[in-house]
Amino acid sequence: GLLCVTCTDMAVMAGNSAETCYSKYGAVSLKGKFCHEMVSAGGGPPDPGGGLGVVPRPLCVPQALRIVLHSLDLRANCYQRFVVPLLSVSADFYVRVFVRVFTGQAKVKASASKQALVFHCVGCGSHHLQRLGRATSHGSGFKYSAATGPPVGPTCEFCLHRHQVGGPVWAEPLHEPAFVERVLAALERSPGRFSTEPRLQGMLSVIAEELSDVPLYYTLDGLSSTIRSNTPSLLQLRSALLHAGFRVSLSHACRNAVKTDAPPAVLWDIMRCWAKLHPVKRERLPDSSPAARILAVEPTLQASFALHEDANPSSRKRGLKRFPENPEAFWGPKARAKPGGGIAPSLQEKRERLQNKRTQRPDGAGLKQFPCKRFKEGTCPQGEQCCYSHEPP
């Protein structure tokens, strides 16, 4: 049957509470640019004519979608069932997946090879996937065995920083291309039936253009920020990857996503070539920074940023509404109501009240009413100058 699952706890799957994510979904979430496969791609400035404006979205959608699919498949396996994703989308402030559930003990055995751990460098943001299992063709069937790894060394080969390990996540395609095409065809057969038709058509068109066999992605601003250079246009970076012989696409989850089958070494070579054309002030870079270590290596690839004929995606040429803006400022889920039916303060008011609360400390005039904990332990070094009370209880 067809199952539709919606998850709204994006903060948990965006790496804010990795332990909570594991308790709910059986996976550890990470903070990273690739995590966008984790909240809405909307919310930025308008995208007139389907433009390629760059608006950073530091939240995580692909990771959230893949964590949800991993959790669904894991639960289904307990009952000798497995899931096949038809469509996985990020809309507004939630993620929603449409999956079909099948029964088959033989195919359930392949589920381990569909999951992967994510190795994410905390310095440059490079990521690698490590499959949990391996499926090899063996006669008329498959032979399943443990995977070998890890795919990385103790430190990142590009910036020498450490890796974080997240997952497991779903490592197979998020969508079924044939199903997406059928939904698009159904929309074209019924013009005007849905009030959100332009948004549906734009989002589904971007989904149809995505590389289905590339699990995660980088962001344009993330790559340029790592080497402290100005940002190339998305068309320039896409052209460089296409000229180098690799595939590249956008992602419906993030308007400035770079989804490519090029390895991280090629991406950093392209960014090194960009830095040669637009020099970076290296004297300001600490020697141990990712930017200094990446730029210290000469590129082995000579990148060409000339416009490639396939760099401009079809959805942009057609002027589709791919990344619509939010209806209003601060739009989205609000704070929960107070106990007893009171009205909770708005998020904007709370932000203004708590702004700089750690840097702008209040004077000690009102703190004398509170006892000093260190005085009770006999370890307070302030003496009479302490802003807390040293009076005996």
Say if CB 347 and CB 225 are below 8 A apart.
Answer: no
H-helix or E-strand containing 250? Answer: strand 248-251
Domain ranges of the chain: 2-317
Q: How far apart are CA 155 and CA 84, in angstroms?
A: 35
Q: Which residues contact 363 (CB under 8 A, 6 or more apart)?
A: none
Q: Report the pLDDT value the prediction gives residue 389, as an integer from 0 to 100.
A: 84
Q: Which residues contact 4 (CB under 8 A, 6 or more apart)?
A: 96, 97, 98
Q: Encode pLDDT of 272-294 as tens digits.
A: 999 999 988 888 889 999 999 99
Q: Encode pLDDT of 62-117 as tens digits.
A: 788 999 999 999 999 999 999 999 999 988 788 999 999 999 988 999 999 999 99
Q: How many CB atoms lie within 10 A of CB 125?
A: 22
| Token pair in block for residue 392 | 């005996």
Q: Is the pLDDT of residue 306 over 90?
A: yes
Q: Which residues contact 227 (CB under 8 A, 6 or more apart)?
A: 271, 272, 275, 280, 290, 291, 294, 295
Say if CB 231 and CB 186 are below 8 A apart.
Answer: no
Q: How far apart are CA 386 and CA 273, in angstroms?
A: 57
Q: How many CB atoms lie within 10 A of CB 183?
A: 16
Nearest to 94 by CA among 181, 189, 14: 14
Give the global pTM: 0.80
**H helices within the chain, ranges in order?**
10-13, 18-25, 62-77, 105-108, 177-189, 197-209, 220-226, 234-243, 264-277, 290-295, 314-317, 347-354, 373-377
Lowest mean pLDDT among 115-129, 304-318, 333-347: 333-347
> Fold for domain 2-317?
Rossmann fold (3.40.50)
